[in-house]
Each structure stands twice: as structure tokens, then as C-alpha cells.
Chain A
Amino acid sequence: MKGKIEVRSQNTEFRRERAAKPPLSFILNCDFWILYSAFMKLIAEIDGEKRELEIKRDAYSVVAQLNGRHYEIEARDIRQGIFLLIVNGHAYECRLNQADTKRKSLEVSVGTHAYNVALTDPKRLRTAQQPGAHSDGTTAQIVAPMPGKVVRVLVEQGAQVEAGANLVVVEAMKMQNEMKSPKAGIVTSINVKAGATVNGGDVLVVVE
């Protein structure tokens, strides 16, 4: 009964909001409720572990199916990015954060536990390949781990380097970090100069 009253009060707010808006969005808002009465299918990757998720939301009530596990949940939007999910008397406060723009996943904290969650909507386009740092055995990219300033470049293009050799010194938050080569090889490109400001994810040096 209590839930119903709250639902109504939310609807009243909705109506008030809608009254001030153009007719087109009025119709679209109505569409929303019809659209979401059906299950949505998503693929969720949690710390690299894939789950198939079917989910339906109707106001505070959420029904979800994950790898055969069935949940009936009372869901509350506490604030932007914070959900309170109550399942069988257990309360889970879930907080969403952008984990890393480069990796395109969300960090979701459940209580004091944190997980990286990446969602894929099979109805939408495929996910793009991940950019950023990689070493595929032949090429190693040395990537700035965070925004900062290049203090020194210790190698020259064409130089032969050993694995573990210092290549670049990057300063951030007053700490100088020596960026080392993950492999032995030849420095094929240097993209920065001493004094340059770099962003997290920028490729500094390539060793082949």
C-alpha cells in the first residue's frame, strides 16, 4: 500500500513536469513506460566474467535473470549513479563510477566491494577494440599512466634498449616515475619532449 502511494506521488510529479513541456516529449515519455515493460537483454562482463542479463523495470520493481538466477528486486534511485537494491531482505547499495575512459567500463561498488562492469547491448553495434597500451610481443607502447609532465627523455630514436631500461621520467603530483621498457628492442618512436604535458593514456615511446 505504501509503495502504491509513493508511485502515485511520483506520477503526479511526472504529470506536472510534462505539463510544461512540448507535446512531442509528452508522447515520448509515454513511450518510455511501454518500452520498458518488456525485458531488456544485455551482456554484462564483471571483472572479465561474462553474464547474460535479462532485466525489466517497472517503477520500483525490477525483475532480473542472470545466468539462470532469478531476482525480484525493489530498486531505488538514491542519487545519480547510486542505486539501492533490496533483494530478499538484503540491501545492496550500488554506486557507479566511470572506471577509465580508455577501458570504457564502469566501476560499480557494492558496499565495500568494487567491480569493473562492461555492458554490451546486442541490439546495438559491436563494441570497438580497446585502445591504449599494449605489448603484443613485437611492439611495446609506453603509455603515460596519468596526467603529468615529462621531466626527461632518456633515450633517442633508434636506440637499442634492454628490458627494464628507463625511457622517460614523468612527474605527476610531485613524484617522478621512471617509465621502463617492458622488453628489449629498438626505440622506433618518441612522441614527447622534456617539459611536455601529457594526458593519461598518451603513448610516449614505442619500442619494437
Chain B
Amino acid sequence: MFRKILIANRGEIAVRIIRACRDLDISPVAVYSEADTDSLHVRLADEAYLIGPAPSIESYLRIEKIINAARACGAEAIHPGYGFLAENADFAQAVLDARLTFIGPSPEAMRLMGAKTSARRVATEAGVTVVPGTTEPLESLDEARRVAAQIGYPVMLKASAGGGGKGMRFVATEEELPSAFDTAQSEAAAAFGNPEVYLEKAVERPRHIEIQIFADQHGNFVHLGERECSIQRRHQKVIEECPSPINDAALRASMGEAAIKAARAVNYVGAGTVEFLVSDRTREFFFLEMNTRLQVEHPVTELVTGFDLVREQISVALGEPLSFRQEDVSWHGHAIECRVYAEDPDSNFLPSPGRIMHLRSPSGPCVRDDSGVEAGAEVSIYYDPMISKLAAWGRTRNEAIDRLSRALDEYMVGGIKTTLPFFREIVRDAEFTNGNLDTGFISRFFERRAEAALRMKSEETDEAETTRRDMAAIAAALDYMQAQKQNSTGNQTHAQEEQQSNWRLTGRAALHRRIYE
């Protein structure tokens, strides 16, 4: 077994990997940027190395600094997590060149699957159906125009090196193409250091379903079933579940087989995910891309299959055979995960950076919260605003939803806006509970919600709501009275104030401004 693993990541995934290391009695080593000095992953690790200033381009994306840190501390392997360098073949190669183990597939497999255009080619050659579109990066806007006209609008522009919805634009008409093309390119360049984009036909009302696969260095390939990730905003997943509400064993088997075909074509090793678009009507599925890393949403697969994917990644990287065969894999119950983002769902999911003043994480039966923060943590503008992943398991989908609703209600994050209120509504939405999902779910949900809000307005506010509003006013007044008291007690309270929470420094200041100005 490895003695020491360096984790080239931050936030909840770094914490998740640290936990797997602890399970295996491996010493975890963190790296961090100046913005992350006091963050949770640093505090939970055995060793931590500063690798640069806050912007990720100067820290978490600096290959040589990470490798130097690994060498300096004597780590034998590097786990890249997801995002940052996780799908960067040059990084994987540099790790190997430094005679360290990269916990992931070979650089060759990453190169082939990493560029979406070559991935489509590989999949086609392996006999897996793909969505119509280009297999090469677009050279120019003119070429984009020509291809789009050929396959017909609407089309999707996607970053060749992309993921997470960055560098991705939906284009409904030709008029929208020039500005979308520019934005997609510059977003791709900023996020991945590669401005290449390609184009494909947008499948309407598609379900986004992906297959988790696992392979070892001995040629064994196993699939761990699907995750449905249709609920997306800005092409970024927000709710994922395992299994899909379709829950069709035959479909699972044939998608699993297709996923393994694609992975086998690049001699894949480790954990990987093959994404498909599934037509809700015909149940046809099209290969979209392969993610050559651990996925954000891996916990739902873990909850339903019982396997620990990070632990398995580590043992596969050591050269051990998979600890399970295809016939050992069974799916028990249902798990759903919500990505809790520091974003304001009422302002078009605008990021809401800031300090987390209060935090109450949910717990209780069959609830799992993979969090990267504690109360007092700063959600900075430099990184992805996801603060945690909340998942719940149940014997049935309905039971999982009941527990997820309960956990969402219990979850309190103060000081920043989060997507929690939005999730609380979604898990109670009839379309969601009926499992009618596709990638247009959120926009339709917002329409339903606007209509419901209009209906609500015409009705009288009920008594419970009136009391709640009164209590909100009373709480604010009590706080104001405390502030008055502290002002009147002068200097001595000022000293106290400095020691007290930052909430006071910001919140109180705002209140005072309103009152004194």
C-alpha cells in the first residue's frame, strides 16, 4: 500500500480523498493556494504545501509546483480529484516522469478521451452511437456556420477540453452563432487554456444519463450502473441520482456494455464515466463524452452499490485487480444528491461569494453530506462555488426523496446565498417526484414556479406566514437593541466586538449605516 498520497485539489473532493486515505492508513498531503490557507482540507491533512497565489492558474493548475511538493514530501502517488488538472494529460505524464503514481488513467487514454472531438471518433470506431456533429475543432466562425447549417439548428457549441458547462453554448438560430462562438472560445481558453470548440446537434428533451465504469491494469472492466444527471442549469449538473427514475435493467445493461466498449478502446484504467444523452421518448442513447476521472456525483453510486470508489481507485493505481466482478455488482435502493452551491437561485444562479457565518449540516438516517467547509469559511471568487454535496438514500426513490427533503430543511447556511431554498422546492415538485426529468427541467420548473407565485400573491397570506414575518422583524429588532446597548457601553464593548464573529462586523455595520445615514 502507498504510505503517502498528495492530493492536487481543494474543497470537498480533497476532503473526500483524505477520508479514503485515512481508511487505508495512508498519510494524506494537501496543497493549497494563498486563499485556502485555513481551509478544511488543509486542516485535515497530515502535511500541507503552499503552491501559489489565489488564482488557480497560479496555484492548483501549476504542474511543476505540485510535483515539486510531492517530491519534497516523499509522496508516492498523486490524486487529482476532479476539475483543475484531473483531466490534463500533460499533468499525468509529468507525474509519471517524476516516477510517481498518477491515480487515474494513462496520459494516452486521457488525451484520446479528453478532447471531445477525438473521443467521438474513438466511440464511433468502437461501435458506440454518437450525436451528429463535428469530430474536429472548428477552425473559424465560417466553418461553424457551415456545419450548423448542415446538421440543422438548434446546435450546441462545446469546448474541446471542456466540462462543467464552461465554454458551452446553446445556439437556437444562426443570428446567435457569432457572439456564442466568441464567448464559448474565450470561456474555453480561460477555463482550460485551450480555446478549441466544436459543434453538435442539440437533442431535444434529452435525459443526461452516465455510466460509471471501473477498470484495472489487468484488463478487467466492470460498470457500476447509471446516474441520471438531467437536472442542470447552465449545462452544469445540480441534482444527480442513481439509478435513473427510468430504472430499466435492460437499458442499464446495454448502456453499460456500450460504456465498457468505449473505455476498452482506449485501454482505460481506474474510475471513469461515460456520458450519454438518452431520448426520453425512444430510449435511444448517444455517446456524449467520457470523463477520465472521479465524478463530482460519485457518492450516489457509492450509496446504491456499496463500493468506495476512491478506495478502489487507490488500489487499482497500486496494480491490484478490481475487488469486484460484474456479477458482484447489484443496485440496492435509490440515492439522490444535490450540489449545494454558493449561488443565488433567485438571481439566475449568480455566485454569492462571502463568509459562511452559520452552518448546520444535516445528519440522521441515510443522509450523507460531503462538505468542504465549516462555519467561518470564506467562499472566494476564485474557485467553483460548490460548498457541499448532500445525498440521501432510501429503499425506494420516494423514500430517498423524503429523507432528502428532511435533510435540506435541516441544512442551514448563513452569510451567503445558497441553492438550498431552490432544492427544497424541487424535491416537492410533482414533475420531480414523478421522475419526469430531462435537461430542460429547470427552465420549466422556473416557469411553473412563476405561475405558482402569481397565484400565491392573489391569495391572502396565512396566519403562520404572518407570524413568521413578525418573528423576523422581532429578531432584527432584538439585534438592533443589542447593538444600541453596545454602542452605549463604549470602548469596552468595542474590544469585545473585535473578538466576536465577523457577522457583527459586516451585518451590524450594514444595519448601522441604514439607521444612521
Residues in A with CB closer than 8 Å to B424 are 112
Question: Are A53 and B384 in contact, with the CB atoms below 8 A?
Answer: no
Give 1 or 0 for each of A59-100: 1 = CB within 8 Å of chain B CB.
000101010010101010101111101010010101111111
Residues in B with CB closer than 8 Å to A95 are 358, 412, 414
B508 CB, min distance to chain A CBs, angstroms:
8
Question: Are B474 and A53 in contact, with the CB atoms below 8 A?
Answer: yes
User: Is the contact region of chain B dominated by helix, strand, or loop, or is it mixed?
Assistant: helix
Question: Are B514 and A108 in contact, with the CB atoms below 8 A?
Answer: no
Is there a chain A Cβ closer than 8 Å to B476's Cβ? yes
Is there a chain B Cβ closer than 8 Å to A173's Cβ? yes
Question: Are A81 and B479 in contact, with the CB atoms below 8 A?
Answer: yes
A101 CB, min distance to chain B CBs, angstroms:
5
Is there a chain B Cβ closer than 8 Å to A128's Cβ? yes
What is the total of A-B residue contacts with beta carbons within 8 Å? 217
**How far, in whole Å, are A35 and B487 apart by their CA atoms in the complex?**
13
Stretch at the interface among A4-12, A134-142, A147-155, A183-191: A147-155
Is there a chain A Cβ closer than 8 Å to B468's Cβ? yes
Give 1 or 0 for each of B465-485: 1 = CB within 8 Å of chain A CB.
111111111111111111001
The answer to whether A127 and B471 touch (CB under 8 A), given A25-B489, A151-B190, is no
Question: Are B190 and A173 in contact, with the CB atoms below 8 A?
Answer: no
Is there a chain A Cβ closer than 8 Å to B381's Cβ? yes
The answer to whether A51 and B473 touch (CB under 8 A), given A87-B467, A166-B179, is yes
**How far, in whole Å, are A109 and B424 apart by their CA atoms in the complex?**
14
Is there a chain A Cβ closer than 8 Å to B374's Cβ? no
Most buried by A among B179, B480, B513: B480
The answer to whether A83 and B473 touch (CB under 8 A), given A97-B507, A151-B186, is no
Residues in A with CB closer than 8 Å to B150 are none
Interface residues on chain B, size class: 35 or more
Is there a chain A Cβ closer than 8 Å to B24's Cβ? no
- Taking a contact as CB atoms closer than 8 A, the residue among B183, B492, B509, B514 that contacts A119 in the complex is B514
In the complex, which residue of chain A has the Cβ closest to the Cβ of B471? A92
Residues in A with CB closer than 8 Å to B485 are 32, 36
Question: Are A81 and B414 in contact, with the CB atoms below 8 A?
Answer: yes
Question: Are A80 and B467 in contact, with the CB atoms below 8 A?
Answer: no
- Taking a contact as CB atoms closer than 8 A, the residue among A49, A81, A151, A173 that contacts B469 in the complex is A49
**How far, in whole Å, are A79 and B187 apart by their CA atoms in the complex?**
43
- Taking a contact as CB atoms closer than 8 A, the residue among B384, B414, B474, B509 that contacts A64 in the complex is B474
Is there a chain B Cβ closer than 8 Å to A168's Cβ? no
Is there a chain B Cβ closer than 8 Å to A202's Cβ? no
Question: Are A85 and B183 in contact, with the CB atoms below 8 A?
Answer: no
Residues in B with CB closer than 8 Å to A196 are none
Question: Are A117 and B473 in contact, with the CB atoms below 8 A?
Answer: yes
Most buried by A among B191, B477, B479: B477
Is there a chain A Cβ closer than 8 Å to B225's Cβ? no
Question: Are A105 and B514 in contact, with the CB atoms below 8 A?
Answer: yes
- Taking a contact as CB atoms closer than 8 A, the residue among A25, A36, A145, A176 that contacts B481 in the complex is A36
In the complex, which residue of chain A has the Cβ closest to the Cβ of B474? A64
Residues in A with CB closer than 8 Å to B415 are 97-98
Question: Are B475 and A32 in contact, with the CB atoms below 8 A?
Answer: no
Give 1 or 0 for each of A99-143: 1 = CB within 8 Å of chain B CB.
111001110111111110111110011011000000000000000
The answer to whether A80 and B490 touch (CB under 8 A), given A145-B350, A171-B190, is no
Question: Are A80 and B501 in contact, with the CB atoms below 8 A?
Answer: yes
Is there a chain B Cβ closer than 8 Å to A163's Cβ? no
A117 CB, min distance to chain B CBs, angstroms:
4
The answer to whether A173 and B383 touch (CB under 8 A), given A96-B507, A98-B510, A127-B517, is yes
Question: Are A46 and B467 in contact, with the CB atoms below 8 A?
Answer: no
Q: List 22 A-B contacts (CB under 8 A).
A: A25-B492, A28-B489, A40-B481, A55-B478, A64-B474, A71-B470, A75-B478, A81-B504, A94-B475, A106-B476, A110-B468, A110-B475, A111-B468, A119-B480, A146-B351, A169-B183, A172-B351, A172-B353, A172-B381, A175-B187, A175-B351, A176-B186
Contact surface of A with B, Cβ cutoff 8 Å = 21-22, 24-25, 28-29, 31-32, 35-36, 40, 42, 44, 46-47, 49, 51, 53, 55, 57, 62, 64, 66, 69, 71, 73, 75, 77, 79-83, 85, 87, 90, 92, 94-101, 104-106, 108-115, 117-121, 124-125, 127-128, 145-148, 151-152, 166, 169, 171-176, 178
The 8 A-B residue pairs with the shortest CB-CB distance, nearest first, are: A94-B475, A128-B517, A44-B473, A98-B507, A104-B514, A108-B472, A117-B476, A92-B471
- Beyond A55-B474, A176-B183, 4 extra complex contacts between A and B, CB < 8 Å: A69-B470, A85-B475, A97-B507, A151-B186
